[in-house]
Chains A and B, each alone.
Chain A
Amino acid sequence: MNSTDRGQPEWSLQAGDNANVIVLSGDWIAQQGHVPAFPSDGLHQVRPNQPLTFSTDGLGRWDTGLIGFLWALKQGAAQAHLDMRAETLPDAARKLLDLLPDRPAPAPPLPRRHFAPLAAIGTVTIDSLTEIGTVTELGIETARGGVASVTGRGRMRLTDLMSNIRNAGPSALLIVSVVNFLVGAILAFVGAVQLRKFAADIYVASLVGIAMVREMSAVMTAIIMAGRTGGAYAARIATMQGNEEIDALTVFGIPVSSYIILPSILSLTATMPFLYLYGCLVGMLGGFTVAIGMLSVTGAGYFHQTLNAVALNQFVFGFIKSIFFAILIGLTSCRIGLQAGRSAADVGVAATRAVVVGIVGVIALDAIFAIIATTIGI
């Protein structure tokens, strides 16, 4: 290799009496994009029983662009049973070429995928049932761990619980405030437009109050927690899986349910109902701000109307819903983290799955609660 510019890379084949000579000239730099490919019929003019040698007098700078060309030539020579004299090449190029096989082994064919709808349905069914069983088993094991902790026989560390509570509760206050305030305000805007037509401005307070307490605060808070905390749990556990940290727990016999899942679920269960109550309050404040600004409603009137409209049992129902949402998010995100593979990409997949499953699960569970509420007449 030298630094003078020798021009475009070129090659030619000179079939002589004693040898077939490949003449190489110019700069063979792959990134310059001019390196020629060795054609599949490039050796059709050779004299069969003569060796293949190289003339590199005109060869300038070169890199793996030249080696790629020479490898194709080497494979062609092997097919044509020609004796290729690589020693006539520059020493460095010969060493690299020696590393490359004459006949590269073909890559194994990709497994064929047969269209088998029945087998696919069967697999999905069995997998789903297995998953339901596993999550239930995990839930029962965690509940047992919880009972054992309460009775003083447990193995959960209080420090883990407290740090999880700090992450799931106070740290989430800001986002819960912003979202619920805006939801309350949006409900008031939507209601105000319609109710003003009937001079029923004051009922905006009832609309916002009932909607926030009954549905929106619990669901919005749960969705925030599924995205924020559920995703974080799944990513953390999946990373532990990749670092063999879960294996280390297993070998010691430290139950994953006590060390990881129980503090996660308990922290969500301890914080989400209070975040729900806080969300209700902030949502009503959002509605109040819009009502005072847009409608002919007094502060005292709004407050009084809210108290009249929202019964205490609505709060109790929302509170209980939040506990179930917390258990759902905690259990599914931990399970998804534990189920994850061991690569960096798997961590991302686990976090995404935990968020999606958490959000869909919360909404589906809320629908079930809506049916129950209607049935029992709340």
Chain B
Amino acid sequence: MAPQTPATATSDTLMSLQGITLAFGPKVIQKDISFNIKRGSIFAVMGGSGCGKSTVLKSMIGLLRPTAGHYLVDGEDYWTADPAHRQTVSRRFGVLFQSTALWSSLTVGENVALPMQMLTKMDPATVRSQVELKLGLVDMLHAIDQYPSELSGGMKKRAGLARAMALDPDILFFDEPSAGLDPITSARLDDLILNLRDGLGATIVIVSHELPSLFKIADDGIFLDAKTKTPIAHGAPSWLHDHCDEPQVHAFMHRERETESGRTD
């Protein structure tokens, strides 16, 4: 079973947050965040709305520098590394933003191709075949020449996922992947995430409060509390559901479960 306190970093640990504090100016968002993410796992950052989940993710992908603490990727401190090295580490990241953040002036195909064209020495034919492969994996090949504004919410998410995989990252970050999707599309996205993890061997960090999705895919996780502005529980979502006595976590986990079972009953 997953532990309730963060384990010490082992050789299995890919990423490690140690005493991280995040703040916008004087306003502290979260403090004393410590957890380890195992290689090949799906790690969930959970919590209610406004607790700072997306801010934690922003910091992990290099968009927000913490005011305290250390963020280690493969044992190296990400934020104290020189910018060029940090850039090399960032190349291992693939990010699916909450809003998908597809480049609106480019087609879906161009969105996936841009990172390859700008950052690699691939010839146009290889870029084209890679784009087709990545879009094929998420079943979006038919939309290769469409612009993001012409896509539905679910298609945008899949296109965003294809772009996140453009440079074959070994760490994928998903910010609220199921937000705004119907249950069937959301379930399909969950299956896709699991298949990608198994197929690509990637480590996945997922920010979400969609419990059905978290129970299905996450192996480990952390629960952030908005009131105390600090993590209050560690463990897999299903483990937290069954064993965590922390009132906030219990309410969060069970209220959703009860409603869900109420619906099925």
Contacts and interface: CB of A to CB of B under 8 A. Distances in A.
- Co-complex (A, B): yes
Contacts of B103: 240, 245, 248-249
Contacts of B90: 251-253
A157 B127 CA distance: 14
B114 A253 contact: no
Contact of A240 (B63, B93, B104, B118): B104
Contacts of B181: none
Interface residues of B, number: 24
A243 interface: yes
Interface stretch (B2-10, B31-39, B94-102, B183-191): B94-102
B62 interface: yes
Interface string A252-269: 111000110000000000
Contact of A251 (B61, B99, B117): B61
A54 to B, nearest CB: 33
Interface residues on A, range: 10 to 19
Contacts of B98: 244
Nearest to B105: A236
A250 B115 contact: no
Contacts of B255: none
Contacts of B105: 236
A323 to B, nearest CB: 26
A245 B104 CA distance: 8
A258 B97 contact: no
A258 B114 CA distance: 12
B216 interface: no
A247 interface: yes
A157 B118 contact: yes
Interface centre among A249, A252, A254, A259 (most CB of B within 10 A): A252
A240 B103 CA distance: 8
B91 interface: yes
A251 B119 contact: no
A251 B93 contact: yes
Nearest to A248: B101
A95 interface: no
Given A157-B118, A243-B99, A251 B63 contact: yes
B100 to A, nearest CB: 8
Contacts of B62: 250-251
B118 A258 contact: yes
Nearest to B115: A252
A244 B99 contact: yes
Contact of B63 (A245, A250, A254): A250
Interface of B: 61-63, 87, 90-91, 93, 95, 97-99, 101-105, 114-115, 117-119, 163, 166-167
18 contacts: A155-B119, A239-B104, A240-B103, A243-B99, A243-B104, A244-B97, A244-B99, A244-B101, A245-B103, A248-B102, A249-B103, A250-B62, A251-B95, A252-B90, A253-B87, A253-B91, A254-B114, A254-B119
Interface of A: 155, 157, 236, 239-240, 243-245, 247-254, 258-259
Task: Please name the 4 residue pairs, one residue from A and one from B, whose CB atoms are nearest each other, closest first.
Answer: A244-B101, A248-B101, A155-B118, A254-B118
Given A244-B101, A252-B90, A259-B114, 13 more contacts: A155-B118, A240-B103, A240-B104, A243-B99, A243-B104, A244-B98, A247-B97, A248-B95, A250-B62, A250-B63, A251-B95, A252-B119, A254-B115
